[in-house]
Chains A and B, each alone.
Chain A
Amino acid sequence: MNLWQKAACAFLLVVVCAAAAANWLAPTGYAKQDREAISAEPSRAHWLGTDELGRDRFARVLYGTRISLFLAPAAALLSTLMAALIGGLSGYLGGIWAKGAMAVTDLFMSLPWLFLLITARALMPLNVSPLFSVVVTFLLLGLLGWSAAARVLCTAAGSLRSSDFVRQARASGVRGARLFWIHVLPNLKPVLFAQFWISIPVFILTEANLGVLGLGVSEPMPSWGSLLRELEGLVSIGEEPWKFASLVLLVLVVMSFQLLLARQEEIAF
């Protein structure tokens, strides 16, 4: 690993440990409302200030990290695997399989999934724990977010089918699942890793937007997405740079993931 990757690894480790140790590191609980210190500036008591209900922002960032840092990559992994199976496999098999799968994928991309998510919320009881609701949200995102990558993977796998080294492997007697697993799938890595890396912030943001439907994390539990929604009152943000803490953290984490995966993206064989 080069210097950048070591730094990225160390950074991620620090973030994960800080999130795990949130109970000890956070000055107060994430739900504790200091009603006399609303939208306060950073101070010794509140390192990143407080939000509009007087809750300590640093504590909320720490606890929010637990949710987002674990669930978003898990959902991204799920969507990447689904894309690999549906897109990669159908492209590899070719012919009617590829055509059918791609028609399904295109259809999937065009449907208004908003309504499925609204229905999902309706089917959930109202009195569920915030954790359950956010886990369900990320699960749904993972199950719905594979279509774009599947398309590209299908084409990529289709190209590979007719490539020299696959022909050579087939000629050597490697067939079926083994051929797919050992020779085709690794060559799809560039697309797979790109998909994984992109999905993480996309899912975090989508989780925040799904708060509109009652999905996503419910109050008072924080997530990076819900913290990012503070940035929507943009007109005055220039005067309050500490509100960007969650954005900066998200960007750094996403970059760290990317740096660690960089080698995987490029080594294709």
Chain B
Amino acid sequence: MLRNKVAGHVLALVTTVLLGGLLSATLVRLAPGFDVDEQELDPHLSAASVQALRDARSQDRNIFRFYLSYMNRLVHGDLGTSLSLSQPVRTLLRERAPTTLRLLIFGLAMAWAAALALALSAARLRLAGYDAAGTLLSGTLLCLPAAVLALLSVLWNVPGSLAIGLVVFPRVYRYARNLLAKSYAQPYIVMARAKGLGEARILFWHVLPGIAPQLLALGGVSISMAIGAAIPVEALCGLAGIGQLAWQAALARDLPLLVNITILVTLVTLLANSGADVIGQMIRGQES
């Protein structure tokens, strides 16, 4: 039974991921500028060379054929070759993954630590001034473009993960603060406090389990936010990660690279969110 269930989940996962790849390929294909190359504008190139450039780009024109051949190669572990960088996609991703992972892990850790600390204290203290200060901080950070945050991190010589943390922090803080505030206002929490239960006990045994599924869902979602923020931060801080690669690929309409990156991001997102769901359900199951 369990094996069937797991198999079902895996199948759903794989189907969704592959569908994501196909959809992203279609989006890229339909967007204008798909099969043009900047090099065409070089007046030194002869007519034959320009035609050769155009022919090279047009072979990916039929999106279904491209995707079928891509999946065929995927089965053999070959992810294709990047059009703009002329290197195998697999090598590119492998080289850059550690940088992005480091960035995301540290950035998310910082964001969550700061957000939870601030949200918890705000929900507990219930001081209008403290809450307003937290709102001001997160509000200001939300209003700063990611590009400016990345530039600031270069200016102050701090790692790019701080910029990621600063981008994710206000979003997580706001949700977390609202969830915690609502939770603390519940009658049974008030009663528990009146009965003399310690703060730590209330927090870990009553408040957090109640909102854990939502916090976990938020956790899954924050991974997507961090991935989105990684693109401008890596590009501006000069970090050779997957975000920078994604931006270059988007500018160059590099189909093989974009499809692979989308599949990777979809996979990570699905795993993160499914994981959050599963753990959330377990906690909820424990509760009832």
Residues of A at the B interface (CB closer than 8 Å) are: 2, 4, 99, 102-103, 106-107, 109-116, 118-119, 122, 147-148, 151-152, 154-156, 158-159, 162, 190-191, 193-194, 197-198, 201-202, 204-205, 208-209, 228-229, 231-232, 234-235, 247, 250-251, 254-255, 258-259, 262, 265-266, 268
Q: Which of B23, B31, B185, B276 contacts A119 (CB 8 A)?
A: B31
| Closest chain A CB from B246 CB (angstroms) | 8
Inter-chain CA distance A254–B23, complex, in Å, is 35
Q: Which of B224, B265, B276, B284 contacts A148 (CB 8 A)?
A: B224
Q: Which of A99, A112, A254 contacts B27 (CB 8 A)?
A: A112
Supposing A107-B23, A107-B266 touch, asked if A232 and B148 sit within 8 A by C-beta, the answer is yes
Q: Which residues of B contact A152 (CB under 8 A)?
A: 175, 214, 217-218, 221
Q: Is B24 an interface residue (CB 8 A)?
A: yes
Looking at B85-93, B102-110, B128-136, the stretch in contact with chain A turns out to be B128-136
Q: Which residues of A contact B143 (CB under 8 A)?
A: 201, 204-205, 228, 247, 250-251, 254
For the complex of A and B, 10 pairs with smallest distance between CB atoms = A190-B178, A155-B217, A110-B266, A115-B31, A115-B27, A122-B32, A118-B31, A194-B174, A201-B142, A110-B265
Given contacts A197-B174, A258-B139, 8 further A-B contacts (CB under 8 A): A106-B269, A110-B269, A152-B217, A155-B276, A155-B277, A190-B175, A191-B175, A254-B142
Inter-chain CA distance A158–B225, complex, in Å, is 23
| Closest chain B CB from A252 CB (angstroms) | 9
Q: Is B7 an interface residue (CB 8 A)?
A: no
Q: Which of A111, A114, A154 contacts B217 (CB 8 A)?
A: A154
| Closest chain B CB from A56 CB (angstroms) | 23
Instruction: Determine the interface band of chain B, counting residues with CB < 8 A from chain A.
Output: 35 or more
Supposing A152-B221, A250-B143, A258-B135 touch, asked if A234 and B148 sit within 8 A by C-beta, the answer is yes
In residues 202-254 of chain B, which contact A (Cβ within 8 Å)? 213-214, 216-218, 220-221, 224-225, 246, 250
Minimum CB distance partner of A120 in chain B: B31
Residue pair B16, A106 in contact (C-beta under 8 Å): yes
Residue pair B152, A234 in contact (C-beta under 8 Å): yes
Q: Is the interface of A mostly helix, strand, loop or mixed?
A: helix
Residues of B at the A interface (CB closer than 8 Å) are: 12, 16, 19-20, 23-24, 27-28, 30-33, 128, 131-132, 135-136, 139-140, 142-148, 151-152, 155, 170-171, 174-175, 177-179, 181-182, 185, 213-214, 216-218, 220-221, 224-225, 246, 250, 258, 262, 265-266, 269-270, 273, 276-277, 280, 284, 288
